[in-house]
Amino acid sequence: MAMNDSVNILNSAYLAVEYIDSFLPDNPLQQPFKNAWNYMLDNYTKFQIATWGSLLVHEVSYFLLCVPGFVFQFIPYMQKYKIQQDKPETWEKQWKCFKTLLFNHFFIQLPLICGTYYFTEYFNIPYGWEEMPRWYVLVGQCFGCAVIEDAWHYFLHRLLHHKRIYKYIHKVHHEFVSPFGMQAEYAHPLETLILGAGFFIGIVVFCNHVILLWAWVICRLMETIDVHSGYDVPLNPLHLIPFYAGARFHDFHHMNFIGNYASTFTWWDRIFGTDSQFIAYKEKEKKQQLITKKKVN
């Protein structure tokens, strides 16, 4: 297919979504959100919005998204969805994780967040309500960011597992053989910088409004906390995303240490065959389940 044909198809798809969106009723939340956004612009400087707004979005989103997984450990009914049922969470490990998180968030990530304002100024990224992209553009941009970050994460994560450097950096993250949601960003400071760099590549490519910074932060946290949750809960809306890896995929990486290196999608592991042990493990599980059923019947 010629490049012009591809561009025409994308333009047609964009116009079709625009046309359909014009007939949809206004979102009842749009006006309150608009009022809140304009209030923020009127009462805070761009530096305050970019720096403290970004920190607030990250901290609130991170710990709120961790709440369900934290609560699950106290609900007996939810234990059937825990992937590694023989390795329950402990207060000691969770407290250690929390302290390390606070250090990484405020001494590693906050200095990086302080550069957000200068990034938006350098690339002339708008803050205004009128320049804010439509919801479907924002969704597409976040998906594009996820694809880019996933590629970066796969190759750099796999490199961090190299026997010559694993014990110096990535071993910290693997202290927890059975992960839990809050452990998603539990890592060596160098790993926070190395793997975290992939987060910013998509922003450089797609960012046309400061709202994308916050939307992508929330999407990325939602994904990484989900795959580290330790629970494979049914009816998870994230499983509607094509090629989404999910908690069971990444939980195997913590349990096995080898394979399943990608952060969000399964295609890189499938292409390079680094999911072979996971596939064999699943087949073994299926056979064991069949044998158990036959014994019961």
pLDDT, residue 294, reads: 72
* pLDDT tens-place string over residues 232-285: 999 899 999 999 999 999 999 999 999 999 999 999 999 999 999 999 999 998
Q: Taking a C-beta distance cutoff of 8 angstroms, is the pair 189, 104 a contact?
A: yes
SS (H, E, C) 177-235: CCCCHHHHHCCCHHHHHHHHHHHHHHHHHHCCCHHHHHHHHHHHHHHHHHHCCCECCCC
**Which segments in the chain show pLDDT lower than 50?**
1-3, 6-7, 9-10, 13-14, 17, 19-20, 22-25
Cβ pair 226, 249 in contact under 8 A: no
Say if 271 falls within a structural domain: no
pLDDT at 151: 98
In a domain, 251, yes or no: no
Q: Is residue 34 domain-resident?
A: no
The whole-angstrom separation of Cα 162 and Cα 152 is 16
The residue type at 237: P
What does the chain come to in residues? 297
| Region of 264 on the Ramachandran plot (φ > 0 left; ψ -120 to 50 alpha; else beta) | alpha
- What pLDDT was estimated at residue 10? 43
The total number of structural domains that make up the chain: 1
What pLDDT is attached to residue 2?
A: 43
Domain-located, residue 60: yes
Q: What is the pLDDT of residue 250?
A: 97
Question: How high is the pLDDT of residue 24?
Answer: 45
Tokens 């209030």 found at: 39
Please give the residue range of the domain that contains residue 184.
44-232
Task: Name the pTM for this structure.
Answer: 0.88
Q: What is the pLDDT of residue 1?
A: 43
pLDDT at 290: 80
Helix (H, G, I), strand (E, B) or coil at 245: coil
Decide if 195 is inside a domain.
Answer: yes
pLDDT at 4: 53
pLDDT of residue 155: 98
Residues 218, 66, 75, CA angle at the centre, nearest 5°? 145
Residue 178 falls inside a structural domain: yes
Check the CA dihedral 58-61-63-65 and report its sign.
negative
Asked if residue 61 is part of any domain, the answer here is yes
pLDDT of 23 reads: 45
Model pLDDT, residue 179: 94
Strand stretches in the chain, DSSP E: none
Is 194 inside any structural domain? yes
